[in-house]
Each structure stands twice: as C-alpha cells, then as structure tokens.
Copies of this chain bind each other. A is one copy, B any other.
C-alpha cells in the first residue's frame, strides 16, 4: 500500500481502518496529535483491551487542542521527551506487524488541508527497525529518567 495519501476524508478513513484493526497492541510515536477523531479511535482501542503506548513531543503536547491530556485521562500510557529538539517522528505500529509512517501528523489541519504522505508497510524488516526505535525511545523517556532542575 505505497500510495501517498491524498488529502481529505477518505485518507482519514483509511488510517482509521488500519488503526482499528489492532487486536493486541498499538504503539504510537507522534510529534503532534490533535485530531479528535483519531483520539477517539485510540481511546476505543484502549477500552477494548488493546495495549496502547504513546510517545510524543513535550512542546507540542501542551498546546491547545492536543489529544494527549485526554489519552492520559483515559488511562493510556504516554511518555514524552525532555529535549530541546523535537520528537518529530510520525509513525504507529499495529500489533507489532503493520507500520504506518510518513509526513502526516495526526491533526485535523494535516488531514484536511496539507499535502502529505502515509506509507503502510508490512515488511518485517521495516517494522522491526521502527519497533526497535520505539522501544529505545520508550525506555529513554521513562519518567524515572526525567530531571526537574
């Protein structure tokens, strides 16, 4: 499924369909997450018992409209960076077998108005490279490592 995502609602449907296929785990690593539709989908998966983990950028998550607070409120594990640079990834991994990656942040502006691409990849080698990156960042952003002064 290598097609760049044409903008508009049908791309959102495609993304939702892939996300909602998750049965066991969803690992999300996103610079910006403010789409309420995608936020609802992620919370629904959590309620279904899918193990959801979210990595995000500390600067963006505090902005108005961010979904991160709602995800945390729902009991979903979220970790963020403590760096001056951006955690700029935009990928998700479904059931440790399906990689969704590209230029798209999960924002309404990006979905509806921007020119973006999304790759949906099942190739095990690609999935593993991104899973390894996810696990590496997940450990690095463990709150145990946060410094406060």
| Complex: A42 Cα to B91 Cα, angstroms | 28
A9 contacts chain B at the CB level, 8 A cutoff: no
The listed residue with most B CB atoms (<10 A of its CB), out of A102, A123, A125, is A102
Query: Which residue in B87, B115, B119 is a CB contact (below 8 Å) of A115?
Result: B87
State which size class the interface on A falls in.
35 or more
B119 touches A101 (CB 8 A): yes
Query: Which residue in B86, B116, B125, B133 is a CB contact (below 8 Å) of A114?
Result: B86
Whether A91 touches B113, Cβ cut-off 8 Å, given contacts A2-B129, A4-B129, A103-B103, is no
B115 touches A137 (CB 8 A): yes
Whether A113 touches B86, Cβ cut-off 8 Å, given contacts A2-B125, A4-B130, A119-B126, is yes
